[in-house]
């Protein structure tokens, strides 16, 4: 037989459990959506550095190197840093190392030079804008970073070794 008092209590517990499940599922859904949106908004999606030797970024980078315009170099490196896969693009890495060498940040220049060397082994082609400035390979940049690493007394900031 059913006891009239037990059945409403059972229904109340079922309603509480159901409410808890709905709240838990809602909280989980909100956290999932927030996390997904954060990841999507911060994801590097720009294919600025795509290995295309005719990419506009290389023209911009070579012009900034030639003019030694540190503000433009900084802007270009910031754009490169937001580009998906830039560390596997020899020409984008060339600009990144050039920038850090130019501003005499030996730690960053050395770090990125290590990445550039690995990338250069796989793809030793410098884009035409760099070749047009006389840069046939990364040897001059390697020498510049070595001089920078040896200390500020051995580095003449008025002479760029690109």
- The pLDDT of residue 106 is 94
- The pLDDT of residue 161 is 44
Q: Sign of torsion, CA 50 53 56 57? A: positive
- The pLDDT of residue 39 is 61
Instruction: Provide the residue ranges of all domains of the chain, joining segments of one domain with +.
Output: 1-43, 56-154
Cα–Cα distances in angstroms (integers) from residue 31 to residues 23, 35, 42, 78, 146, in the given order: 12, 6, 17, 30, 48
Check: CB of residue 143 under 8 Å from CB of residue 97: no
- The pLDDT of residue 154 is 44
- The pLDDT of residue 10 is 61
- The pLDDT of residue 33 is 84
Please write down the long-range contacts of 51-60, taking CB distance under 8 Å and 24 or more positions apart: 51/88, 51/89, 51/123, 53/91, 53/125, 53/127, 53/128, 54/127, 54/128, 55/91, 55/127, 57/91, 57/92, 57/95, 58/91, 58/95, 58/127, 58/128, 58/129, 58/130, 59/129
Q: How far apart are CA 82 and CA 131, in angstroms?
A: 25
pTM: 0.66
- The pLDDT of residue 42 is 55
Q: How far apart are CA 91 and CA 125, in angstroms?
A: 8
Low-confidence residues of the chain, pLDDT below 50? 1, 44-45, 153-159, 161-162
């Amino acid at each position: 037989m059913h006891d009239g008092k037990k059945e409403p209590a059972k229904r109340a517990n079922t309603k509480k459990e159901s409410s808890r499940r709905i709240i838990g599922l809602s909280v989980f859904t909100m956290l999932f959506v927030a996390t997904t949106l954060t990841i999507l908004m911060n994801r590097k999606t720009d294919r600025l550095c795509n290995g295309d030797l005719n990419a506009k970024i290389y023209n911009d980078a070579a012009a900034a190197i030639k003019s030694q315009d540190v503000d433009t170099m900084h802007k270009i490196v910031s754009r490169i840093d937001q580009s998906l896969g830039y560390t596997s693009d020899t020409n984008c890495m060339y600009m990144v190392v050039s920038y850090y060498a130019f501003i005499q940040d030996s730690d960053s220049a050395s770090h990125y030079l290590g990445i550039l060397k690995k990338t250069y082994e796989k793809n030793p082609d410098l884009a035409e804008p760099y070749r047009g400035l006389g840069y046939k390979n990364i040897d001059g940049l390697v020498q510049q970073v070595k001089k920078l690493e040896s200390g500020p007394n051995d580095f003449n900031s008025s002479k760029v070794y690109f």
